[in-house]
Structures are given as structure tokens and as C-alpha cells.
Amino acid sequence: MTAAPQPEILAAFEAAKGFMPVDEGLALYAAAVEAGRLGLPLLEVGTYCGRSTILLADAARRAGVTALTVDHHRGSEEQQPGWEYHDPQTVDPEIGLMDTLPAFRRTLHKAGLEEHVVALVGRSPQIAALWNTPLALVFVDGGHTDEHAGADYAGWAPHVAPGGLLVIHDVFPDPEDEFTGQAPYRVYLRALESGEFTEIAVTGSLRVLRRTPPTAPAGGTPAPDDRASAPEGETPAPEDRAPAPEGQTPAPEDRAPAPEGQTPAPGGRASAPRPGTPAPGSAASAAARR
Ligand SMILES: C[S@@+](CC[C@H](N)C(=O)[O-])C[C@H]1O[C@@H](n2cnc3c(N)ncnc32)[C@H](O)[C@@H]1O
């Protein structure tokens, strides 16, 4: 059965400022709960005000792991003043720059999930360059230019553990469907073309890919890492699960099966775009980017 958040978590998600529609949030949650079986942290690039973080935090809580979320909190290109996704309430009046960190902290506090999240405040590539811990899930929802989305992929995808999940938001195969740019779609293609990831689910513009486990040598014993990835829908025996990092014990009841009810459709058409289509001919419609 697909893991779903409790009603109070879903209500907190819906109440939070942000951009993710509910169906994509539910798919992200199911993926995060499934990935949490690996007993490794879940990481998001693109915190904004914490809407999607709520779901990762609750999945992390269920698995007994930590959710990490990366953002410089100064907003993406299209969230700046004068652009389509700007929210004046996110501007720090003293310095005149966006600062979504206070809203993010309030969101998590109200949801009762603060202790399950570590916020990493800074530029994604700078943090990724220092990173050295395998991750059960990487959710890419940061900047949407080729520069930023590409750097997020290059910086974080290598840290997805075998059997772990790479989740990409705002994948719009058809340029007519998109209005935040097709860089996430190009990152998605890059991941598939690398041969390192296989698509397992599509919901709206959300794509869930699994790191393809390394092939065992003929007649040989699978490498220890291979044991982390049980076939989809099968619960690995406890001794086969990847060891949880110190202090992180996944709750057995939360070793949820793979997400269900999501149609794998490589290159499939994305769902309706987010609300707030830029006015035709506006700067944002021509070049809206995160
Ligand atoms: C689309 S928003 C994230 C939305 C959020 N996941 C949600 O569901 O509401 C993108 C965020 O990425 C952040 N961002 C963009 N480029 C970044 C970079 N290079 N490093 C860190 N954060 C970045 C922006 O500050 C912005 O808050």
C-alpha cells in the first residue's frame, strides 16, 4: 500500500506557502517513506518556505532518519521582485532582499517537525562540494536554470545510495506545458541517459528515479551495497537493509512498499502547470527561471 501522510501533516503541507500541488506532494511523500527503508538521510534542494520539507520531515520521522534541506533562502530568479512568483512577504524590509528562512522555521515549528530536519543554509553546489554521506533520497527543486539545476544534479545525484531515489520536480517534456523552464526536464534526461537511474514513477511534473544497483559479477556474491535495494514492492529482510547511521533506527512498520498508483511514463506529458501562468509577453513568461 502507498504510504500517505496523516491528515494533520497533509493539512500542514496544504497550509504552507509554496508551489507543490497535493498530488505531487503525496507522490513525494510515498517515495520518501519508501527510501527511508534504507536508513539513510533524505535531502531536498530548494526549501523555500518549507512546504515540501514538511513531507520529507514526516517521512524521515517515520523512518527514524533525518531530513536535510538546502537553500540560500534568497529566492530563485522568478521569485525576485517584479517576477511572476514574487511574494512581497518574503522580503526582509531591513536589507531589501528575500529571506524565506523565518517563514520556513515557522512552517516546521507549526507542523511539529523541527527536530527531524537539519536546514543547510547556503548555495547548493558549495554545500554539495563538502558532502560525503550517502543519501536515501535526493529531491531536486532548487534553481531552474540549466546552470543551477545542472549543478544540483552533478553535486547531489552521486550521493544517492544504491537502491535510493532521485526525485526531480517541474519536469515538463512539452515546452508548451512549462513556464519555469525546461532545465529540470534536461536534468531528468541526463539522469536516465547516464544509465545510473531508472524511472519508477510519474505524477504530474514529479519524476521518481531509482539508482540502478551495480550488477553483481557472474557467479559472484552481490556487493554489500546491492543488498540495500530490494526489488520494488518487496520488504527487505532486516539483515539485508543498509545499516542505519548511528542513532537512526528505522521503525520496522514504516518500511513501506514502493509507491503505487503512479503510472510510469517516460517522457509522458506533464500535468496542468502550477497556478499563476505568466501573462503572455511578460518577462516572466519569456524567461521565468528559478
Ligand atoms: C521552487 S523553490 C522550492 C519550493 C519548495 N520545494 C516547495 O515545495 O515549496 C526553489 C528554492 O530554491 C532556492 N535556490 C535556488 N537556487 C539555489 C541554489 N543555487 N542554492 C540554494 N538554493 C537555491 C531558492 O532560494 C528557492 O527557495
Q: Indicate the domain borders of the chain.
A: 7-215+248-287
Question: What count of Cα atoms within 13 Å lies in the side-chain half-sphere of residue 50?
Answer: 32
pTM value is 0.79
Which residues are annotated as catalytic?
144
- Mean pLDDT across 155-165: 98
Write 58-61 long-range contacts (CB < 8 A, 24+). 58/5, 58/6, 58/9, 58/29, 58/111, 58/113, 58/116, 59/3, 59/29, 59/32, 59/33, 59/35, 60/32, 60/36, 60/116, 60/117, 61/113, 61/116
Residue 10 is predicted with a pLDDT of: 98
273 has pLDDT over 80: no
Ligand 1 centroid to residue 40 C-alpha, Å: 23
Residue 83 is predicted with a pLDDT of: 85
Q: Minimal CA–CA distance to 287: which of 98, 78, 112?
A: 78
Q: Percentage of the chain surpassing pLDDT 70?
A: 74
Q: Report DSSP state, residue 137.
A: E
pLDDT in tens, 35-48: 999 999 999 999 99
145 ligand 1 Cβ < 6 A: no
Residue 263 is predicted with a pLDDT of: 36
Residue 121, helix vs strand vs coil = strand
Ligand 1 centroid to residue 45 C-alpha, Å: 6
64 ligand 1 Cβ < 6 A: no
* CA–CA distances in Å: residue 238 to residues 3, 105, 230: 19, 35, 11
Just give the CATH number of 7-215+248-287.
3.40.50.150
- Mean pLDDT across 227-245: 36
Residue 220 is predicted with a pLDDT of: 53
Q: Percentage of the chain surpassing pLDDT 90?
A: 66
72 ligand 1 Cβ < 6 A: yes
Terminal CA-CA length for the chain: 35
Tell me which of 31-45, 124-138, 204-218, 257-271 is least confident: 257-271
- Mean pLDDT across 164-178: 91
The residue whose CA has the least distance to atom 25 of ligand 1 is 75
Q: Which residue has the cell 536508513?
A: 39
181 ligand 1 Cβ < 6 A: no
Q: Is 96 left (phi over 0), alpha (psi -120 to 50) or beta?
A: left
Q: Decide if 232 contacts 31 (C-beta within 8 A).
A: no
Tell me which of 206-210, 240-244, 251-255, 263-267 is least confident: 263-267
Q: Which residue has the cell 514574487?
A: 86
Confidence of residue 270 (pLDDT cuts 50, 70, 90): very low
Ligand 1 centroid to residue 219 C-alpha, Å: 46
17 ligand 1 Cβ < 6 A: no
183 ligand 1 Cβ < 6 A: no
Q: Decide if 137 contacts 68 (C-beta within 8 A).
A: no
C-alpha to C-alpha distance for 68 and 163, rounded to whole angstroms: 19
Ligand 1 atom closest to the CA of 44, numbered from 1: 6
Residue 175 is predicted with a pLDDT of: 83
pLDDT in tens, 66-94: 999 999 999 998 888 888 889 999 999 99
Ligand 1 atom closest to the CA of 170, numbered from 1: 1
